[in-house]
């Protein structure tokens, strides 16, 4: 693969690593706990392998996550080895615990663990980072099971705990959960189960309990497949992307998941016109958004690769050919509308980059491969680096080296290194507008998962 593409993969992995460490692990934006006696014992050999002058302390675990938070540090960071110094301020918090955010946090943490175990990410003190990511993922899974599951359904919650009390009080906040979030939970528990194959000595999740959750999946699949034609293309593409990740390890209801993927692929192919336009709904005139179009391209390309599906292969080519006509070779961006001013959310950016990477795997023509590589390289540079969508350059604890960014970007010790919700780009001036703001986990974490899943296949 082209070296520039490998560099882009490395940079994206590093940005997502920083984002997940800053928010899911270190922010403290949620219910937190200090290590118990068992965890102190598990940590002891890991910490003792680190030189005393580099040893982290005041370690805590973030067991749940709030939907909206301000990514500013609560105190000045005097000692970067102090975990607690990287907590975010409690201003502008919305203490809703979104089940989709929790699930995507677990998935991303598990994916990063696999990147570390397979040496795709190289960091100092990897054993310590592996442990912290694992505890974050496993504790958040336990939180879901204990506080956000009612019967066989997973719900959003609200933290209404008394600040003066040590008791946790989570109330179910939404009695009509989103169907995509249900599949995200099964993806999360499947990812945790997959970690059991790495023989981590501190892996303490009960596989029977994991399967207890995962075994709810067939019932959900049955109801979903009966209703596929009535689902939006957005729901189909996102659910399909979760199911491809569940299908790959081949230990979670493989036949049923595979049949569902075929049915989703068939429906998306049917909604893709000969011109490469995607319907938002069955028999509807409204077209799908850029994120849904590229998520569908991503999924169909993966189905073409996984199952040698001719119909998925042909539909993904039609989608790409139409989408590629919007490429602006000067601005190095896909124009989402006929205007000098382009707006992208982090979800849009992730969907496009992930789709291009997945489509590259099934592109046989040499010229097409070269075009795709140029588009990936140019688009990633424009949207992830030049845009300033990656907040602040003050690097938190555990980062082995700083990412290289253009000198035009202003570094700030106030802002945690996380992704912003989106940016605006004026093509004629090649100027980006992206100011740090409240962290929108409902945008950022699904984007991180889609990127991690597609660029690291």
Whether 236 shows a pLDDT value over 90: the answer reads yes
Predicted local confidence at residue 125, as pLDDT: 84
Whether 145 shows a pLDDT value over 70: the answer reads yes
Helices 233-247/290-307 angle, 10° precision: 40
Rank 73-87, 111-125, 256-270, 420-434 by mean pLDDT and report only the highest: 256-270
Mean pLDDT confidence for 53-69: 94
Backbone dihedral angles phi then psi of residue 100, each to the nearest 5 degrees: -65, -40
Q: What does pLDDT average to over the chain?
A: 91
The CATH number assigned to the domain with range 3-455 reads 1.50.10.10
Burial environment of residue 189 by CB neighbours within 10 A (0 to 12, 13 to 18, 19 or more): buried
Which among 138, 136, 125 has a CA at the least distance from the CA of 47?
Answer: 125
pTM of the model: 0.95
Give the model confidence (pLDDT) of 290-341 as tens digits.
999 999 999 999 999 999 999 999 999 999 999 999 999 989 999 988 888 9
- Spatial distance between the Cα atoms of 95 and 244, rounded to a whole number of angstroms: 32
**Ranges assigned E (strand) in 167-216:** 170-172
- Spatial distance between the Cα atoms of 49 and 31, rounded to a whole number of angstroms: 29
Task: Return the domain boundaries, the chain.
Answer: 3-455
């Amino acid at each position: 693969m082209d070296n520039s593409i490998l560099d882009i993969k490395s940079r994206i992995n590093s940005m997502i690593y920083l984002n997940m460490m800053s928010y899911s692990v270190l922010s403290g934006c949620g219910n937190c706990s200090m290590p118990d006696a068992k965890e102190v014992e598990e940590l002891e050999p890991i910490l003792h392998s680190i030189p005393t002058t580099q040893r982290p302390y005041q370690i805590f675990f973030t067991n749940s996550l709030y939907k909206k938070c301000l990514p500013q540090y609560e105190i000045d960071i005097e000692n970067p080895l102090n975990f607690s110094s990287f907590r975010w301020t409690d201003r502008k918090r919305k203490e809703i615990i979104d089940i989709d955010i929790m699930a995507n946090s677990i998935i991303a943490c598990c994916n990063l663990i696999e990147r570390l175990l397979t040496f795709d990410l190289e960091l100092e003190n990897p054993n310590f980072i592996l442990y912290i990511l694992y505890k974050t993922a496993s504790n958040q899974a336990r939180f879901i099971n204990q506080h956000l599951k009612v019967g066989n359904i997973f719900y959003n919650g609200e933290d209404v705990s008394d600040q003066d009390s040590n008791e946790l009080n989570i109330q179910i906040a939404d009695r009509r959960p989103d169907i995509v979030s249900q599949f995200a939970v099964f993806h999360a528990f499947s990812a945790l189960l997959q970690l059991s194959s790495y023989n981590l000595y501190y892996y303490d999740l009960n596989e029977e309990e994991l399967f207890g959750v995962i075994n709810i999946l067939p019932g959900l699949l049955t109801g979903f497949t009966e209703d596929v034609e009535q689902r939006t293309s957005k729901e189909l593409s996102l659910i399909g992307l979760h199911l491809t990740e569940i299908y790959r390890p081949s230990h979670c209801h493989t036949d049923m998941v595979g049949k569902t993927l075929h049915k989703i692929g068939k429906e998306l192919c049917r909604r893709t016109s000969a011109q490469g336009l995607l319907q938002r709904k069955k028999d509807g005139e409204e077209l799908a958004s850029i994120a849904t179009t590229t998520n569908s391209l991503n999924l169909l390309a993966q189905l073409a690769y996984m199952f040698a599906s001719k119909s998925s292969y042909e539909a993904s080519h039609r989608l790409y050919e139409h989408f590629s006509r919007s490429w602006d070779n000067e601005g190095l961006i896909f124009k989402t509308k006929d205007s000098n001013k382009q707006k992208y959310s982090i979800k849009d950016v992730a969907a496009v980059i992930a789709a291009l990477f997945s489509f590259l795997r099934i592109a046989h023509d040499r010229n097409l491969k070269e075009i795709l590589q140029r588009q990936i390289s140019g688009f990633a540079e424009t949207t992830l680096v030049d845009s300033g969508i990656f907040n602040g350059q003050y690097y938190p604890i555990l980062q082995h080296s700083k990412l290289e960014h253009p000198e035009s970007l202003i570094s700030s010790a106030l802002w945690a290194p996380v992704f912003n919700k989106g940016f605006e780009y004026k093509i004629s001036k090649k100027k980006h507008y992206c100011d740090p703001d409240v962290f929108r986990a409902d945008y950022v974490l699904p984007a991180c998962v889609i990127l991690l899943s597609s660029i690291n296949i």
